[in-house]
Amino acid sequence: MSKITGLRCTSCKRVYSPDSGLFTCPVCGPYKGTLEVLYDYDAIGKKFNRKNWIVPELPGHYRYIKLLPFEDTKLIPPLWVGYTPLIKSEFFEKKYHIKGLYLKDDTREPTLSYKDRASSIAAIKAKEANANGIIVASTGNAASSMAGFGASIGMPVYVLAPRSIPEGKLLQLLLFNAKVILIDGNYDTSFDLSLKVAEKTGLYLRSTAVNPYLSEGKKTAAFEIAEQLEYNIPSYVFVPVGDGCIIESVYKGFKELKELGFIEKIPHMVGVQGEKSAPLLRAYENNTDEIEFIENPETVADSINVGVPRDGVKALKSVKESNGFFIGVSDEEILEAISELAKYTGIFTEPAAGAAFAGFKKAIKENRIPHDATCVILLTGNGLKDPRAIKRIAKKDVPIVAKDDLDSIVDLIRF
């Protein structure tokens, strides 16, 4: 595929051929040696401009096919993904005295999470490679998302998950016909096994960070934000950070648009972590590239409850290069943020997305964002994926009225 020129190691910068079949750098290993997909930006930049690089006839985020790692549109899965709403909230602009506030609503992806962006590309690459199936180690959104896309394209999806996986999540996987194998160990064990199984079986690997093409799916929110704001690039983008894949991918998306000359600046990337599951925040605060892992990370936001961030190196780089920052939020702040979003926008998010909004609120409170800034907050998943969250935040005082007591009802409404 001529538009891709190479796969570059994040750490040692060695560039490998896209035909090498490599997923990570053999020198730096699967943790530090995650790869980055490089395109022929010169050629693309010469051929296209802001308007004509988009192919609006293609559904969802495939409209950005010029910067996606496939050519054959016949590979596009039937399940539409991406090109989600960017919602301007005048209410929050007023409340927080900020010039621009936009919510990128990925609660409305096909399996209701941001991970669908990555899974859609994994599905395409697996089909392109004529794989017999896809393997993924995950306890959550990545697995159910991949299972959904496997169903959509008719390819078996094998999931390695810790034995402790919550029943609800397991059932969702089974519903999408995923072949689940429970491992008598933790997430890290499943993750390491997935690499070995992929090698032994030839199954296409969709575990987080170790497949460079996943980023290619996750970066498209940057393209959408740019297009939806008519290339008036926001000042800040708030992203919940666990493994760090989403923040580095969105940063890559903006960087590519700049490389092509379509935009002039890149937003400051703000990484939001749970304050007790914040290895990247710690490294950022200590001004080091050495990420210290956390053994027992804790946050109500499952999807970012990560002590060993698989894409930490890239994530840290994205925040630093863009002059952004990391910020930590408590469980209380996350739950309060979910409730506030629901109450004033009608969007019910999962806790990780609530964390992103909580990070914004905290940054405003701490005067880290100027009032003339425009902020975008990535809402990465739907709250109904884990309805237990509602129980923790909804108030429960509800009046009960006798069946013919019209007067009491009118009194309760009180005009």
Window 192 to 231, contacts with a second copy (CB under 8 A): 193, 196-197, 200-203
User: Please, are residues 301 and 350 in contact by the beta-carbon 8 Å criterion?
Assistant: yes
Rounded Cα distance between 218 and 294, Å, is 25
3-state secondary structure of 249: helix
CB of 351 to a second copy, least distance (A): 13
Residue placing its CB nearer to a second copy in the complex, 6 or 30:
30
Residue placing its CB nearer to a second copy in the complex, 161 or 266:
161
Cα 230–Cα 234–Cα 239 angle in degrees, nearest 5? 120
CB of 398 to a second copy, least distance (A): 5
Torsion on CA atoms 283, 209, 193, 19, rounded to nearest 10:
-140
CB of 47 to a second copy, least distance (A): 26
3-state secondary structure of 168: helix
CB of 16 to a second copy, least distance (A): 26
Phi and psi dihedrals of 66, rounded to 5?
-60, -25
Binding of residue 171 to a second copy (CB under 8 A):
yes
Q: Which residues inside 265-324 make contact with a second copy, applying CB under 8 A?
A: none
Binding of residue 175 to a second copy (CB under 8 A):
yes
Phi and psi dihedrals of 277, rounded to 5?
-140, 60
Binding of residue 412 to a second copy (CB under 8 A):
yes
Q: Candidates 28, 35, 68, 112: give the one binding a second copy (CB under 8 A).
A: 112
CB of 205 to a second copy, least distance (A): 13
Question: In this chain, which stretch among 150-158, 231-239, 329-337, 371-379 interacts with a second copy, using CB under 8 A?
Answer: 150-158
Binding of residue 357 to a second copy (CB under 8 A):
no
Phi and psi dihedrals of 60, rounded to 5?
50, -140
Torsion on CA atoms 182, 188, 192, 198, rounded to nearest 10:
50
Between the alpha carbon of residue 159 and those of residues 21, 204, 303, 358, 370, the distances in Å are 22, 12, 17, 32, 45
Q: Candidates 38, 166, 185, 258: give the one binding a second copy (CB under 8 A).
A: 185
Q: Which residues inside 77-96 make contact with a second copy, applying CB under 8 A?
A: 77-80, 85, 87-91
Q: In 3D, which of 309, 315, 361 has the Cα closest to residue 337?
A: 361
Binding of residue 65 to a second copy (CB under 8 A):
no
Residue placing its CB nearer to a second copy in the complex, 136 or 260:
136
